[in-house]
Chains A and B, each alone.
Chain A
Amino acid sequence: MKNYADIVIRPIVGEKAYYAREDRKYVFEVAKEANKLQIKEAIEKLFNVKVDKVNVVNVKPKPKRDIRRGALAREGYTKSWKKAVVTLKKGYTIKELEGEH
């Protein structure tokens, strides 16, 4: 398919995702057309870890209104995207996301 870097778009850094790391669960935004196997392979190759399982969620677009611009006010939707929650096998962590230098 594509490059691994095209499959894994960005890590999601938020409170929920951060604390999920304690259970070796890492959250990423991934390419919409990528399947679990491709995601697993990409994570294993990019971060040199072993993946236990991958859960995916298709995040639906949400209505979005920009009412502050007067005549230019717009109405629409946020983009839809795919979220992957990757659980690593025991003993593995993604060092690149741990903030250690």
Chain B
Amino acid sequence: MEIKEVGVEKNIVTKEFIFDRNEIEIAERRVANELNRKYTVEGFRKGKVPLSIFKMRFGKDFYDVFVYEKLVDMIYESVKNEPNLLLIPEIVKKEISSEKAIITVNLHKKPVANIDFSKIKVRVANKEQVLDNYVDLRLKSLQEEHAVLEPKEGPAEYNDLVRAKISVTNNDSGKVLIDGNEDEFVLYEDDERPIIKNLVGHKKGEVVEYDRNFENQGTENNMPSYHYKIEILEVYKRNLPEITDDFVKTSLAEMHLETVEQLKEKFKEEGEKIYEKEIKGSIREQIQTALSLATDLFISDKTIDYAVKLIVANMKEENKYADFVKKYESEEKAIEALKEYYVNELKKETAIDKVAKENNIERKVSEQELEEYAVLLAPYWGISVERAKVLVKEKPEVRSEVEEMIFIDKVLDKISEFVEKEIVDVNSGKEGEESEKNEEG
């Protein structure tokens, strides 16, 4: 087989594979053997049909279909070890006869990526502010937990605790949804629920009744309406303890701390761990999102078209294409979306590979890294840590997936060293959103 390079266009190398008579004869014999195994021909015993009979029976197709397939197999075999091959080789032209065959193939190589790290900007929450907020929140929740309750005869006010018996009835059907269940409510001022607003100002023994319509359920003309009957059983004034050294020593004895400062320090350490973990995840996510925008690929449009063609063929084979197209207005738009998705994913993948190569980051991960990742994944999978560790190590497909995730995380951490980080003031504007994010972990 003679291989000639006939052209290069960006990431596509076009090659001509020329087969001589001997190679075609080998392919012919292979075809005859295969056809003999599969078919019987009248007048011949099974497996005894000569090559020329097949040639006569199939006519031109013998070369155009069967011999062609064998030659393509030979081409695939020869390009199997070609470095940086992105897609399976694309056959663009074929001329096959019993004497000579020329098959022109486009080899789509992995494109070269150019990453502009200056285009990636990462927003990072102000650590000091987040930690201060976290400590405040933890102290507040400690106060709430250790509130001293004092029965009160007067009307309930904000920040009091009310124990009540609740009944809820559907006004239309008369169906009783809640029948005298006892519950406790702390009347926080910022709690917008009607039940809280209605309890304020009422004394022990009083019964509060009101109707409530739920706009989100049912149609506009048929909004379900419910009747609430709340019997106040007890009103307590909540005395929140002051967090002092004494409080720390007595009420939080199990923490073995002496002073408020120590307590704050402990919360700060706790918050710092959560912050570090969350901020790392947040930075990785932001980089991954921005990576495709910051990456330019040296890629031919033909490669993108061919890749999309392969994806569509694959989807059609799995009967998923029709459903996919339905999500878009037209088939053209579906293809366009597919192209965009493919290019973005390719940009990310290529950029990650490039950074990994430049910084010698290997895909191979240690057992310890796998175990650490299993610990993180266990809650998402809803299984025990031990089970997750076994699963990650024993199941090859899970293992390779986790190895890939660890590899990507390593690369993203490396990229984070090159990108600009903007410290965000969490106490102004988006305070709620930012601080909430860090407290969740």
Which residues of A are in contact with B by a Cβ distance under 8 Å?
Answer: 12-15, 17-18, 97-101
Contacts and interface: CB of A to CB of B under 8 A. Distances in A.
Contacts of B50: 18
B326 interface: no
Interface of B: 42-45, 48, 50-56, 59-60, 98
- Top 5 nearest A-B pairs (CB, nearest first) are A14-B43, A99-B52, A99-B56, A99-B55, A15-B44
Nearest to A13: B43
A101 B59 contact: yes
Contacts of B55: 99-101
B52 A12 contact: no
Q: Does more than half of chain A's interface fall in helix, strand or loop, or is it mixed?
A: loop
B60 A13 contact: no
A22 to B, nearest CB: 11
B56 A15 contact: no
A90 to B, nearest CB: 21
A99 B56 CA distance: 4
Contacts of A15: 43-45, 48
Contact of A99 (B44, B45, B53): B53
A13 B51 CA distance: 13
7 contacts: A15-B45, A99-B53, A99-B54, A99-B55, A100-B55, A101-B60, A101-B98
Contacts of B43: 12-15, 17
Name which of A12, A97, A99, A100 has the most chain B CB atoms within 10 A of its CB: A99
Given A18-B53, A100-B55, A101-B59, 16 more contacts: A13-B53, A14-B42, A14-B44, A15-B48, A17-B43, A18-B44, A97-B56, A98-B52, A98-B56, A99-B51, A99-B54, A99-B56, A100-B98, A101-B55, A101-B60, A101-B98
Nearest to A14: B43
Nearest to B44: A15
Contacts of A99: 51-56
Contacts of A98: 52, 56
Nearest to B43: A14
Contacts of B48: 15
Contacts of B45: 15
Name which of B43, B45, B60 has the most chain A CB atoms within 10 A of its CB: B43
Contacts of B54: 99
A30 to B, nearest CB: 17
Contacts of B42: 14
A98 B45 CA distance: 19
Contacts of A13: 43, 53
A96 B152 CA distance: 114
Nearest to A17: B43
A97 to B, nearest CB: 8
Contacts of B53: 13, 18, 99
B290 to A, nearest CB: 60
Name which of A12, A97, A101 has the most chain B CB atoms within 10 A of its CB: A101
A13 B80 CA distance: 42
A40 B315 CA distance: 61
Contacts of A14: 42-44
Contacts of B59: 101
Contacts of A101: 55, 59-60, 98
Contacts of A12: 43
A12 B60 CA distance: 22
Nearest to B56: A99
Nearest to B48: A15
Contacts of A100: 52, 55, 98
A66 B105 CA distance: 55
A99 B52 CA distance: 5
Contacts of A18: 44, 50, 53
Contacts of B56: 97-99
A80 B328 CA distance: 67
Name which of B44, B51, B54, B59 has the most chain A CB atoms within 10 A of its CB: B44
A101 B42 CA distance: 22
A96 to B, nearest CB: 9
A99 B43 CA distance: 16
A92 B4 CA distance: 42
B56 to A, nearest CB: 4
A26 B42 CA distance: 17
A98 B59 CA distance: 12
A15 B49 CA distance: 8
B43 to A, nearest CB: 3
A73 to B, nearest CB: 24
Nearest to B57: A99
Nearest to B50: A18
A97 B98 CA distance: 17
Contacts of B60: 101
A29 to B, nearest CB: 12
B398 to A, nearest CB: 55
